Amino acid sequence: MIDIALLRADPERVRENLRKKFQEHKLGLVDEALALDARRRALQTEGDSLRAARNALSKQIGALMKEKKTEEAAAVKAQVTADAERLAAVEAETAETEERLKAVMMRIPNLISAETPIGKDDSENVERQRFLEPKTPPFEIPYHLDILERLSGIDLDSARRTSGQGFYYLTGDVARLHSAVLAYARDFMIDKGFTYCIPPFMIRSDVVSGVMSFEEMDGMMYKIEGEDLYLIGTSEHSMIGRFMNTTLDERELPLTLTSYSPCFRKEKGAHGIEERGIYRIHQFEKQEMIVICKPEDSEAWYEKMWNYTVELFVSMGIPVRTLECCSGDLADLKYRSVDVEAWSPRQQKYFEVGSCSNLTDAQARRLGIRYRGEGGSRYAHTLNNTVVAPPRMLIAFLENHLRADGSVEIPEVLRPYMGGKSEIVPAK
C-alpha cells in the first residue's frame, strides 16, 4: 500500500505507474482515493471543531448555572445535545470513509523501481546474468517423472487416490534427497547469519490481506471452511505476519530470517507436459529467506539475497540465470523482483526455481510494521526470496546430474545429508 501523502502530492506519478503495469482499468481508483481522502479530512476537521465546541459549551453551562441563568443554560445544553448527535454521525461516517479509503488504497499497486523493465508479462522479463555453463550430455534425458520412477522415487497413482491430481508420494533415496536439499539450504543460510525459524502453517485473513493483493489471494490461497484461517502459500506469509502491529527498535534491524514450511497453492489453470509431474503441484516444501530492514538498506539486501540463491545452486553444480521481472509480471505489492531459473538439459532452456522480491514499505503499511530510532518512527522495508523449493529444484537436479546408466550423482556438498552416498542407483 502506497503512502496517501504521495498520492495527494503527485497523483500523476501513481497514474503513470498504473500505466507502466498495464493496469489502466485501475486509473479511476486514484480519483476515488483522493475524493475519499478529502472527505475523510473534512469530517475529521468537523469532528475536531465539534469536540472543541463541546468542551467550551460545557464550561459555559457551569458558569451559567452558578449565575442561576437556568434558561440560558438550558439553551446551551440543547446545543450540546444537538452537537453530540452530529458528532456521533460524523464519527460513524469517518469510520466508514476510512474503511472505504483503505479498501481502495489496497488495490493501488506499489510504485515500481526505475530498474524494472517495462513489459506486459513474463515473456518480456530481461536476462541479467548466467552462472555455470549449461551442458547437454551425449544421451537422451528422459522426462523427469520417468527418471523418478526408474529410481523408485515417486508414486503418483496412490497420491491421486488419496488426495487427487497435483499431489505425490516421494520414496526411498529420492525422498531422502528432497530432505537433504532442504537441510543443506537451512544450514547454508544459517552460515550466512540468518536465524532459522519454523512458522505457523495457517494464518488469519488480516495477515493474508497484509502480505498480498486480493487477486493473488484468490488465485493461491486455500481457505479453511468455518474458520478465519488460510493455509500458507509460502512461509513468507506467516513470517512477515509475525511482526504485524509491531514497532521494532532500530538497533534490531536488519532482521534476517530463514524459514522452512510446507506450501499450499491452488495453481489454477491447465499446464503443458513439462509443468505436469512435480512442476506445478498443490503442496510442496520450501526454504525461504526474509529480511526486514531500514529503507536505505533494502536495495543492498535485495542484491545479496538473490546472490545467495545463485551461490546455493552453483554449489550443487546446477547452472542458473537471473531475470529482472518486467512491470507487467510484478505482483501489486512488489517494487522489484528477480527470478532465478535453472537449466534444463532435457528442454534446452531455463525454468523458474525461485524469486527474490523487494516490497519496500508496501507490506509494512498494510500490517503496521514500524521501527523507531533517533529520527522517530518509520515504516520498515520487507524483502523475501526463495532459497530452494525441492520439487522444481529436483527436476533441475536430476537432469543435470543424470548419468548414461540412469544413476544420479550426488554432489559433494549434499553427501553428508545423504549418509555419505555419492549416487542414487535405479532399482533395476
* CATH number, domain containing residue 243: 3.30.930.10
The predicted structure's pLDDT at residue 396: 95
- Distance separating alpha carbons of residues 409 and 396, to the nearest angstrom: 13
Percent above pLDDT 70 for the chain: 98
**Residue 44 lies inside a defined structural domain of this protein:** yes
Residue among 348, 341, 357 at smallest CA distance from 389: 341
- In a shared domain, residues 289 and 220: yes
Q: Please write the tens of the pLDDT for every residue from 329-343.
A: 999 999 999 999 999
Mean predicted lDDT score pLDDT of the chain: 93
Q: Please write the tens of the pLDDT for every residue from 173-202.
A: 999 999 999 999 999 999 999 999 999 999
> In 106-155, where does DSSP find H-type helix?
144-150
In angstroms, the first-to-last Cα distance of the chain is 56
* CATH number, domain containing residue 49: 1.10.287.40
- In a shared domain, residues 188 and 279: yes
Q: What average pLDDT does this structure show over 227-233?
A: 94
pLDDT exceeds cutoff 80 at 23: yes
**Residue 382 lies inside a defined structural domain of this protein:** yes
Residue range(s) defining the domain that contains residue 188: 122-424
Residue among 120, 334, 6 at smallest CA distance from 14: 6
- Distance separating alpha carbons of residues 324 and 316, to the nearest angstrom: 23
Given a contact cutoff of 8 angstroms between Cβ atoms, the answer to whether 102 and 29 are in contact is no
**Residue 113 lies inside a defined structural domain of this protein:** no
Give the count of alpha carbons within 13 A of 10, CB side only: 8
- In a shared domain, residues 238 and 317: yes
pTM (global) more than 0.85: yes
The last residue of one of the domains, among 78, 105, 132, is: 105
Extract long-range pairs of 373-378: CB within 8 Å, 24+ residues apart.
373/249, 373/250, 374/250, 377/247, 378/294, 378/295
The last residue of one of the domains, among 105, 136, 170, is: 105
331-345 core/surface letters (b: 16 or more CB in 10 A; e: else)? bbbbbbbbbbbbbbb
pLDDT band for position 243 (50/70/90)?
very high
pLDDT exceeds cutoff 60 at 272: no
278-292, 300-314, 407-421: lowest mean pLDDT where? 278-292
For residue 174 the three cell numbers come to: 529420492
For residue 96 the three cell numbers come to: 466508514
- In a shared domain, residues 70 and 132: no
Name the domain count of the chain: 2
**Residue 165 lies inside a defined structural domain of this protein:** yes
